[in-house]
Amino acid sequence: MFFFSCMTMCPTKVRWFLNLAILLVLATPLFVRADTFTVAHVCDGDTIILSNQQHVRYIGINAPEIAHDMKPAEYFGHEARECNKRLVLGKRIRLEFDRERQDRHGRTLAYVYLENGTFVNAKLITEGCAHVLYVPPNVKHYERFLTLQRKAIETRKGMWPHLLATSQGPYIGNTRSKKFHRPTCPFGNQTSPKNVTQIKTKKEAFMNGYSPCRRCLP
């Protein structure tokens, strides 16, 4: 109906309506975009809750744990959470996905970006508030994250000076899972011989993209 009405107008009015329509389309992104979300709560250094109650777990990184389920906080857990809060709490974010979009807990797996372009996952690694976590098939930014982690280690950012101050190596490294274990860890000792590598220190492990076993906590 609008098309036929325009056909009966003079050319000047047609141009005026077309220009108005174009302006309305261009102005739409100035309002809330459908693909952005507001962060309502920061659970810890790598997990947030959006205003729609969606739980989001950052892909490719792991931050120290805060106290939960009767377990004490890990070193730098509260600092990592505060860093995450400063970055995202109350702000609008954009989610980018990889091959798998949910974990076994039902949380959305995503790379998180602020409206100003800040890549939150990468920023937390840069600040020494999280380490690289290799979990295939979501490894799109793994090499980038590892480069940032190496720099954070060398510049002694955040948790790294304390975390690497002592070492109880050697460790068992699993080249397939990118995990490292204490020599007494049953999971480490179950590693297929073709995937086993010896790692001398924690620094060597983290510099090569390995993350600590959650059971033996090397």
HSE-CB for 80 with a 13 A CA cutoff: 28
**In whole angstroms, what is the distance from residue 126 CA to residue 72 CA?**
25
The one-digit pLDDT tens for each residue of the chain (218 residues) are 444 444 454 555 545 555 555 444 444 343 344 479 999 999 999 999 999 999 999 999 999 999 877 778 889 999 999 999 999 999 999 999 999 999 999 999 999 999 999 999 999 999 999 999 999 999 999 999 999 999 999 999 999 999 998 777 899 999 999 999 999 999 999 999 999 999 999 999 999 999 999 899 88
CA dist 163 and 37 (Å) reads 34
Active site includes 33? no
- Give per-residue burial for 92-127: e unless 16+ CB within 10 Å, then b: ebbbeebeeeeeeeebbbbbbbbeeeebbbbbbbbb
- Does residue 154 share a domain with residue 110? yes
Q: 116 and 183 share a domain?
A: no
> Could you list the residue range(s) of the whole structural domain that residue 73 is in?
36-165
Please indicate, yes or no, whether residues 81 and 174 belong to a single structural domain of this protein: no
Compute the C-alpha angle 80/83/85, nearest 5°. 110
112/205 same-domain check: no
56 shares a domain with 6: no
| 129 and 76 Cβ atoms separated by less than 8 Å | yes
pTM given for the model: 0.83
Q: Is 176 a catalytic residue?
A: no
CA distance 96 to 23: 29
Catalytic residue among 65, 74, 79, 127: 65
Virtual CA dihedral for 9, 11, 13, 18, nearest 10 degrees?
A: 110
Does the annotation mark 99 as catalytic? no
Are 79 and 177 found together in one domain? Answer: no
**Domain count of the fold of the chain:** 3
Question: Is 127 in the same domain as 216?
Answer: no
Is residue 142 located within the same domain as residue 196? Answer: no
Q: Phi/psi zone of residue 117: left (φ > 0), alpha (ψ -120 to 50 degrees), beta?
A: left
Q: Which of 74, 107, 127, 204 is catalytic?
A: 107
Q: Which DSSP helix (H) or strand (E) runs through 20?
A: helix 11-27
Domain shared by 81 and 133, yes or no: yes
Residue 54 CA to residue 163 CA, distance in Å, equals 32
Judge if 145 and 41 occupy the same domain.
Answer: yes
